[in-house]
Structures are given as C-alpha cells and as structure tokens.
A and B are shown apart, each in its own frame.
Chain A
Amino acid sequence: MGEEAKGILAVIMTDKNKVTGAVPIFIADSEEEKEKTALILAKSLDAMVHDLENGVYFIVGH
C-alpha cells in the first residue's frame, strides 16, 4: 500500500482503433479474454478495472 502509481496503468480492448498513446495497451480477441486479462492485471497491480462502456476497459491505481 502507500506509494502506488496513480492514473491509468493499462488499457484492455478488443477494438484496437479505439485507443492510442503512451499507456500499456492489451488487445484481446474476445470479451472473455478481455475480462480475464483485466482481472489478472488488476490483481497484479492492486488496482481497479473500470469500463468505458465502449468496449474499452482501463485499469486505474487508486
């Protein structure tokens, strides 16, 4: 706990046209893979998965 990075730590999506930029981007082939990737990333980073509701998940350290 304590000094964790804040802000967007990673972005996970199926449609690679939605996001560009200097964030780790993970492209999944299916919804299931997207959820699983998001879960594993969130657990490894002690962070939380948010949903942009346009098919993009992003992970934020709080």
Chain B
Amino acid sequence: MIVILAGTMAGILTRLLLLKLDYRQYPGYPHGYISHFSLGAIASALGAVAVPALMNKDFTAFTFLALAAQQFREIRNIERQTLENLEETRLEKRGKDYIEGIARTFEARNYLVMGTAFITSIAAMLAGIWGAAAMALILILFSKTFMAGKNIGDICEVVPAQVHFKNSLLCVNEIDFMSVGLPEMRQKIQHEALGVMIKPKNDNARATLHDLGQRMAITHTVALVMGSKKEVDIPEFTPLARKNPDTGEIALYIMPVEKDMTSLIMAVQRTPLLESARVKPLKTQAGRIAAD
C-alpha cells in the first residue's frame, strides 16, 4: 500500500509542479487545471499500481499502461482541437506550430508523470519510504530542469531597434515591413511603436528563426504580455516579425499598450522555443561546412 501511495503522490506532485501558468498562458482557466490535474492523478496511480502487480507476477498489468498511453494520445487531440477552435477568434494567432507544441507537451507530461510514479514505486519497494522520497525528489528535479524546454533568449540576442519610415514604408532598422498609407497612422506608429532585433547566436538559431511558426509564436507571446493596439479594423497595428534575408536576423514590430522596451525584450526572450521549429543544421557535416 505504501508503495502505491508513494508512487502516486510523487506523480501528482510532478504534475502539479508542471502545471504552473507560464508564458504559454495555457491553461489559463480553472477547468483546464482540473482536467489536467485529474488526468495526471490517474496517470500516476496507473504507474504506481503497475509495480506491485508486477511483483505478484501479474504481467497483464502492463497492458493497462498501454491503455493509458492510448488515452493520453486522445488528450493531445482534444487539446489541439480546443486550441484550434479558439484560434479563430484571436487577433494575434498562436499559429499551428505553437498549438501542436502545446498539445504534444500535455501528452508528454502525462507520460512523465506515469514514469515518475512507476520509478518511485520501485524505489519504495526496494529502499523503503526514504528511498522513495529521495527518488521522487531526483525525478521531480529532472522534470523541472530537463523538460522545461528552451527559450528564444537561449539561442538569440534581443536588442532594441528603431521603428522609422522610409516615405510610406514602415521599417525596423534596415528591414522593410509594409506600406502605411495614412499620414496620421504613420505619425501614431512613429510615436507609439516598439521594435527589436532578434539576432541568432549561430546557424542553428538562424534556421529556427526561419520557421514562420516560431515567429508567430513570438508575436503572439509579445502581444499577450504587452498588450496590442490591434483591432479588427486596424490591420496596421498587427505585430509583425520579418527576416533580414541576408543575415537571418528577425525584426519585430509591435504597437504595445504598455510601451516598455525592457518588458518587450524580456517577453521575446522568454518565448518558448517550439520543438517543431528547432532544427540543427550544425549537427550535419554539410551544415558545418556551410557555416564557415
């Protein structure tokens, strides 16, 4: 009984710690918390129960784990559908890549919880309650650090940039964005817009920023954190991220509600790096030769 309890508690604790509201701003509502918490609890119970069952040579217990995996895959679909439906009424889209990333994370976290519960149960069986506690601590730390994912700030440098106009063309530093026709609009943008340059630290980062989904994730996060003046009938204020085709640097333009450069830089830096956007050309020989 202690074995099962220890495993389940460790699993639930892991899920709780991973369920904090972060820059993804999701799930941002109580029912989302409850559904993910309960699934996490079920996952940990399943992982924990498997150990005593195996000890009794009840090997069919493993089929239950397979059943659980099936359920978690379903979670991914549900999350994806929910987010895609919400996307339609958003002014600053998350983008499909971001949604896929969130859905995958929710699925993977359940496996993580199940694994934590399973291993903690084994520890409880072999080394008693203190052994289990130590193992749970190690596993939770592992989940917190290794599964946290990277941010834009880890692979790029974010520096302030100047928003200005070349006649009617809106530019951030040397990168052209769009033509803004109305002089009043230009004046407002000139006064209230903020811009930053996102400079990739190496070729891997450059390839990642090339991904449109990653750029959408950045503009979405920034608009969410800083507020955006965009409205349905003011497409001029849409936050945009455009690439300098020669250097691979990305310029970001936004009309924030809170005009604060420090917070803008921080928001860009903390944008999660999407798994689907992460590519590593430098891991290949051809990529390394090209980088010279």
Contact = CB atoms under 8 A, between A and B. Distances in A.
Contact of B181 (A1, A43, A49): A49
Contact of B168 (A2, A35, A50): A50
A51 B233 contact: no
Contact of B183 (A2, A35, A53): A35
A50 B235 CA distance: 11
A51 B88 contact: no
Contacts of B167: 51, 53
Interface residues of B, number: 17
Contacts of A47: 235
A53 B181 CA distance: 9
Contact of A2 (B88, B178, B184, B235): B88
Contacts of B88: 1-2
A36 B181 CA distance: 11
Interface residues of A, number: 18
Contacts of A52: 179
A50 B178 contact: yes
Nearest to A62: B235
Interface of A is mostly: mixed
A9 interface: no
Interface in A1-39: 1-2, 35, 38-39
A10 to B, nearest CB: 12
Q: Of residues B88, B168, B179, which shows the largest number of chain A Cβ atoms within 10 Å of its Cβ? A: B179
B180 interface: yes
Contact of A48 (B89, B183, B184, B236): B236
Given A46-B235, A49-B180, 7 more contacts: A1-B88, A38-B181, A46-B233, A49-B185, A51-B179, A51-B181, A62-B235
Interface of B: 88-89, 167-168, 178-185, 232-233, 235-236, 238
Interface of A: 1-2, 35, 38-39, 42-43, 46-53, 57-58, 62
20 contacts: A1-B88, A1-B232, A35-B182, A35-B183, A39-B182, A42-B182, A43-B233, A46-B232, A46-B233, A46-B235, A48-B235, A49-B185, A50-B178, A50-B180, A51-B167, A51-B168, A52-B179, A53-B168, A62-B235, A62-B238
